[in-house]
Amino acid sequence: MSKINLLELTSDRVVAALRSGELTAAVFGLGAVGLAVAAVWLRAGARVIGVDVDVGKVEKISSGEVPHPEGVVVETIREAVRSGRFRALTSGEVAVGESNISIVVVPVLYTSTTPDFRALDSAIATIGKNMERGHAVVVETSLPPLTIESRVKPMLEKYSGLTADVDFALIYSPERVLVGRAVEDVETRYPKVVSGIGPRSLALAEALYGSIARAGVVRASSPRVAEFAKLAEGVYRDVNIALANELARLARVLGVDFTEVIEIANTQPYSHIHRPGAGVGGHCIPVYPKFLSWVGRLRGVGLELVEHARLINELQPLDIVRLLLSLLSGRPTSRGRVAVLGLAYRGNVAISTNSPTYRIVEELLHLGFSVVVHDPLVREDRQLSSLGADLVSGIAEAVEGCDAVVVATDHDVYRELTPCDLSKLSKTRGLVIVDGRDVLKLGACCDTTYVGVGRGVKCLGDGRDV
C-alpha cells in the first residue's frame, strides 16, 4: 500500500485513488452503521480494515458471518473478505498504520447527566498515536456541537504531534442512515453533509464523498454546524412525534380518529404531523435531544420544548399501559397474561436498543401480569430476560391463552393480522387489543375490544364499531 499524502492530491487524483483501490480506510466500530459504512467504501473501490473491540464479532466477520439486516452489506463484506479487500481486527494500531483514512463510527452514548465519550476518546487516541502526515480522519458519529473542534482536534494534535489541516485532514460528515437501507441512504437517497476543520480538509471531504453519494454533498461552513444540523434532524422528529402522541390522547377522548386528522391536516403543505406510537427507541432520536440540552445547559440556554417533548415520548409506553388497563377495567390482573408483539425499536430490524417494549413489559410485570414477547427477528435478548419475560418467535405461541395483546412494533408481519386473527389465536373470549402502532388490518372484530393509539376504539366485544 502506498502511503500517499491525501492533502497534497488534487480532487481528481483523490477520486482516482479511491476507485482504483489505492486507498485503504480503517473503519472504527462495526455495529450496524459501521458495517454499512464499510460496505459503502468497499463498493466505492477502497480497501477496508474494520476495527472493533468485540473479539467474537471480529472473529465472526472474519469467517464471513456478517451480523447485518441488509443483504447488500452482508454480500459486499463477505466477498471482500474472500478477495482480501476487507479484514476485521481488534487492533486499531495496526489498522491505522496500514490505512490512509480512519473513519470513526463508534457510539457516543448518554448517561443520566452527560454524554459518554469513552469509545470516541479511545478511537481518537489510537488514531492520533499511529497516524502519519497526510492521513485523513473522518468522524461520522453523531456528536454534541463543538466536539470536533474542542475535543477531537486537540486530542489528535496532542497524540500525533501534527497540525490539523496542515499535516492531516480532519473531516466531520455525520451518518444519515436508517438501518435496513443504510447503503441506499448513503449512495443514492440523501446528500452527504460534509465539513472540515479547515479548507483543505473540506476540499478532501467533498472529493471523497462527492464520488460516493450520487445525491451530492452539502457543505457545512464548520464542523459545529454539521454537528448541530445532524442533531436537529433527530430532535425535529422527536418533538413532532411527541406532538402526535399528545394530540392522539385528546382525539381518543373526543372519539376522533387521529389517523384521519393527520391525513387531512397534512394536505396543507406546511403541515407534516408524524404518527403517534408506543414510544421512541433506537440509538439516535432518544439521545440527540439530550446532547443538545446538555450543550445548552453548559452555556446557560434552556431547551424547554425539546426537553418536554423528550419526556412525553419517554412516558408514552406508560400511556399504552394505561390504555390497556382502561379496557381491562373490572378484570383481575394478578393472573392476567399479556402478549406484547414486537421487541425491536422499529419495524423490520433486529435491533432493540432503547425499545419502548422494555418499559411496557416492566410496567405490566410490576402490575402483576405475566408477559410474553414475540418478535420475528430478535431471537434472544438479555435485557428482556433480566426483566422476567419470555421471548418467543411464534405468534400463535405468544398469543394463545392471553387476555390481552399489545402491538409495540410495526413489523410487516403484524400488518397482515386482524383483531379477529388474534382472537382466534388466543382462544380467549373478549380478547383486548391495544395497537400501539396502528398497524393491524381492521374489519370484523369478532369477540374483541380493539383500540389503536391513533385510531381510538374501533370495535367492542359485541362487534360494534364506535
What would the pLDDT profile of 286-318 be if each residue is shown by its tens digit? 999 999 999 999 999 999 999 999 999 999 999
Active site residues: 230, 284
Among residues of the chain, what percentage have pLDDT more than 70? 96
Q: Across residues 188-215, what is the average pLDDT?
A: 97
Q: Read off the pLDDT band of 334 (50, 70, 90).
A: low
pLDDT at 466: 47
In this structure, the strands spanning 109-110 and 136-139 are unpaired
Crossing angle of helices 223-254 and 304-327, rounded to 10°: 30
Confirm if 5 and 134 have CB atoms less than 8 A apart: yes
Helices 288-298 and 223-254, interaxial angle, to 10°?
120
What's the rounded Cα separation, in Å, for the pair 192 and 183?
12
Q: Are 194 and 138 in contact (CB under 8 A)?
A: no
Tell me: the pLDDT tens digits for 366-415?
999 999 999 999 999 999 999 999 999 999 999 999 999 999 999 999 99
Q: What is the mean pLDDT of residues 166-187?
A: 96
Which residues, at least 6 apart from 436, have a Cβ–Cβ distance to it below 8 Å?
Answer: 277, 278, 279, 320, 356, 360, 406, 407, 408, 453
Q: Does pLDDT of 199 surpass 90?
A: yes
Domains located in the chain, CATH noted: 6-221 (3.40.50.720), 233-466 (3.40.50.720)
**Does position 128 have pLDDT exceeding 50, yes or no?**
yes
Residue ranges of E strands in 287-356: 337-341
Give yes or no for residue 465 having a pLDDT over 60. Answer: no
Contact 391, 398 (CB under 8 A): no
Average pLDDT over residues 8-17: 96
Question: What is the pLDDT confidence band of residue 3, given thresholds at 50, 70 and 90?
Answer: confident
